[in-house]
Amino acid sequence: MNSTFHADASQQYLPQIRLRNVVFGILVKEKTRIFLMFAYLFMNSVVIYWLSANLIEKTIYNIYTNPTILLYFRLLVISIPLIIGLLIGVPLLSTEYESGTYRFLFTQGVGRWRFVRTIFGVYLVFISLFSVMTASSINHFFTIQQQAGPIQIWSFGVFISNPIIIIPLTLTTFVAGVFFGTLMQRVIPGIAATILFVLMLALGLQVSLEKSVAFFVQRLNGSQRDPLLAYYGFVASNDSRYLFRFQMTFALSLAILSLILALGSLRALNSGGLLHRKLRP
Amino acid sequence: MLSVVSSTNLAKSYQGKLALKDCTIDVPVGAVVALVGPNGAGKTTLLDIVAGLLPATFGDVRLFENVIPGSLESLQRVSFVAQNSPLYQNMTVIDAVRLTESLNVIFDREYALTRLQKLQISLKRRIGKLSGGQQAQVALTLAIARHPDLLLLDEPLSSLDSLARQQFLSELMTSVATTSMSVIFSSHSIYELEKVCDYLILVVGGEVQLCDSLDRIVESHRMIACAPGELDDYSDIEIIERKLGTRFSTHLIKVKNLLSRSALESHPTSLENIVLAYLRRAQEVEALNASVKL
Amino acid sequence: MHLVYSLSMSINKAARAANQALISVISFSLDLQSGVPTYLQLVQQVEAALSLGYLVEGDQLPTVKDVVSSVAINPNTVLKAYRELESRGIAEGRPGVGTFIIASPHVITSDKMSALRKSLISGWLREAKKAGLSQAAIVALFNSAIGEIASPNKTSKNS
The minimal CB distance from A108 to the residues B44, B86, B100 is found for B100
- Please count the residues of chain C: 159
Q: What is the CA angle C49-C53-C57, rounded to 5?
A: 90
**Is the predicted pLDDT of residue A8 greater than 60, yes or no?**
no
pLDDT of C156 reads 43
> Which amino acid, residue B195?
K
State the CB neighbour count (10 A cutoff) for residue B9.
12
Same domain, C41 and C86: yes
Which residues in B lie closer than 8 A to residue A118 (C-beta atoms)?
none
- Nearest CA to B19 among B190, B203, B192? B203
Q: What is the DSSP string of chain B?
A: --EEEEEEEEEEEETTEEEEEEEEEEEETT-EEEEE--TTSSHHHHHHHHHTSS--SEEEEEETTTBPTTSHHHHHHEEEE-TT----TTSBHHHHHHHHHHT-S---HHHHHHHHHHTT--TTSBGGGS-HHHHHHHHHHHHHHT--SEEEESSTTTT--HHHHHHHHHHHHHHHHHS--EEEEEES--TTHHHH-SEEEEEETTEEEEEEEHHHHHHHEEEEEE-GGGGGG-TTEEEEEEEE-SS-EEEEEEES-HHHHTTS-EEE--HHHHHHHHHHHHHHHHHHHHHHH-
Task: For residue range B224-282, list pLDDT tens digits in order.
Answer: 877 767 766 776 777 787 777 776 677 777 766 555 555 567 777 888 888 888 888 88
| Predicted model pTM | 0.79
Nearest CA in chain C to B270: C35
Domain segments of chain B as ranges: 3-205, 215-293
Q: Which residue, C80, C101, C122, sits at the end of a domain?
A: C101
Is the same domain home to C139 and C120?
Answer: yes
Instruction: Name which of B32, B168, B171, B174 to mutate to probe chain C: the one with the most chain C Cβ atoms within 10 A of its Cβ.
Output: B174
CB contact under 8 A, C74 and B32: yes
C interface mutation test: which of B29, B32, B137, B173 has the most C CBs within 10 A? Answer: B173
Chains near C, with 3+ CB pairs < 8 A?
B
With an 8 Å CB cutoff and a minimum of 3 pairs, decide whether chains B and A touch. Answer: yes
Say whether pLDDT at A109 is over 80: yes
Do residues C97 and C114 share a domain? no
The answer to whether the Cβ–Cβ distance between C68 and B262 falls below 8 Å is: no
B68: chain A residues, CB-CB within 8 Å = 3-4, 6, 8
Instruction: Please state the domain count of chain C.
Output: 2
pLDDT, tens digit, 9 for 90 and up, residues C46-88? 888 887 777 888 888 888 888 888 888 899 889 999 999 988 8
Summarize pLDDT for A127-146 with one digit per residue, the tens: 989 888 888 777 766 554 44
Question: Do C22 and C43 share a domain, yes or no?
Answer: yes
Write out the residue range of the structural domain in which residue C131 sits. 110-150
> What is residue A237's predicted lDDT score, i.e. its pLDDT?
58
Lowest mean pLDDT among A19-23, A88-92, A238-242, B286-290: A238-242
Within a domain: C143: yes
Residue C93 and residue C33 in one domain = yes
Q: What is the dihedral angle through the alpha carbons of A146, A148, A151, A152, rounded to the nearest 10 degrees?
A: 140
HSE-up of residue C154 (Cα within 13 Å, Cβ side): 23
CATH of the domain at C35: 1.10.10.10
Model ipTM value: 0.88
Q: Which residue of B has its CA nearest to A21?
A: B102
Percentage of chain B beyond pLDDT 90 is: 39
Q: How confident is the model at residue C1 (pLDDT cuts 50, 70, 90)?
A: very low
B194 touches chain A (CB under 8 A): no
Query: Would the CB atoms of B80 and A103 count as touching at under 8 Å?
Result: yes
Is the domain of C117 the same as that of C45?
no
Question: Which chain C residue is nearest to residue B266, measuring alpha carbons?
Answer: C157
Enumerate the residues of chain B whose CB falls inside 8 A of the CB of residue A271.
none
Same domain, C96 and C30: yes
Q: Are A64 and A70 in contact (CB under 8 A)?
A: yes
Q: Which of B173, B265, B268 sits opposite C75 (nearest CB)?
A: B173
- Residue C156 within a domain: no
Do C21 and C55 fall into the same domain? yes
Shortest distance between the Cα of B217 and any Cα of chain C, in A, equals 12
Residues C27 and C54 in one domain: yes
Say whether both C59 and C117 belong to one domain: no
Amino acid of residue C75: P
Contact B262 C69 (CB under 8 A): no
Per-residue model confidence (pLDDT) at position C155: 44
- Residue C1 belongs to a domain: no
Instruction: Confirm or reject contact between B180 and chain C (CB < 8 A).
Output: no
Distance CA B276, CA B67 (A): 34
Q: Which segments within C2-159 are labelled E, that is strand? A: 8-9, 26-27, 60-61, 91-94, 98-101
pLDDT of residue C81: 92
* Interface contact C68-B266, CB threshold 8 A: no
Cβ atoms within 10 Å, residue B203: 24
Using an 8 Å CB-CB cutoff, list residues of chain A that contact chain B. 1-8, 10-11, 14-17, 21-22, 24-25, 28-29, 32, 99-111, 115, 272, 276-277, 279, 281
User: Positive or negative, the Cα torsion across B98, B102, B104, B107?
Assistant: positive
Indicate whether C91 and C140 sit together in one domain: no
Please provide the CATH number assigned to the domain covering B3-205. 3.40.50.300
Report the residue of chain A nearest B154, measured CA to CA.
Answer: A103
Residues in A closer than 8 angstroms to B67, CB to CB, are 8
DSSP letters spanning A88-156: IITHHHHHHHHHSTHHHHTTSTT-HHHHHHHHHHHHHHHHHHHHHHHHHHHHHHHHTT-TT----TT-G
Given an 8 Å threshold on Cβ–Cβ distance, is C69 in contact with B174?
yes
Domain identity same for C71 and C137: no
CB B280 within 8 A of CB B264: no
Residue C3 lies in a domain: no
User: How many other CB atoms are there within 10 angstroms of residue A160's CB atom?
Assistant: 22
**Higher per-residue confidence, B116 vs B237:** B116
**Per-residue confidence (pLDDT) for residue A135, from 0 to 100:** 80
Integer angstrom CA distances of residue C120 from A173, B20, C125, C127, C148: 88, 55, 6, 10, 19
In a domain, C159, yes or no: no
- How confident is the model over B175-207, as pLDDT tens digits? 998 888 999 999 887 777 888 898 999 998 888
